Structure 1
């Protein structure tokens, strides 16, 4: 019975996601698992940080609210402040997924924000996500972007299959 409900929920999710465009937003409920949250979509244009986005393939992402960090002296590019995001990728599809396929573009106050690499602080970028993600599993990636010292409006645009491969989804908020 539980399988039937789960299957029905997934079918409904895929139907709603297909009608809603590239992805649907899900307001997070801390008491639900990533899999359960994917079953309760709520469409919107841009998602706030902390919201889950689900593509029709079943792949989903949640971008955390950023945390501010002072980069080390070895950070590339040099910056006074960085905004660090945790991106949780859940593979709800039937095939393995490589998180390194994600295309992530960031802006700070409508200006492109450079991805910051800082191996001293464990910020090795998207290229370090080399392991395949099996169906039904999730993983977390930490990405950092150079930002001004004062708070800024940030957007992260994510495409799961790389640039121009899937419809993009946008996350936004203060950093």
Structure 2
């Protein structure tokens, strides 16, 4: 009876390159740049904290929450962590920071808001990651708010194309 021994590669040997091995390639097709980019974006947006941020933006009645509003709904996450994740989402083109025009600004009201870009909306729709838009918005409206957050929710917003605000009559 012949015994086969599994030999482990030594640390001096080069690691096996699976990219060129048809047996291990996914469906025997090379990963193109677009697929790699899409996979990277999916990894980015499905990270739990970032996905919760996207849900908060998507579920906001005007789809343009301020940092204070996002922070209010993300109870277990610090504002600095939210800010860091927002910066990453902005850097990758998934979220855009939108400023209120100077002439519409008033004291004690938010001036900067966060909205999903068209690219992010398309990716979320294609993957079915966020499909209950109006239900999320209605849930946000039904949440008990502090006076400060309520004031922020009622503050004027910039007119921004990709946002899909809930109509006042559908509440």
Same fold (TM over 0.5): no
Quick check: which one's strand share is greater?
A: 1
Higher normalized contact order (CA 8 Å, seq sep 6+, divided by chain length): 2
TM-score, with length taken from structure 1 = 0.30
Larger radius of gyration: 2
TM-score, with length taken from structure 2 = 0.30
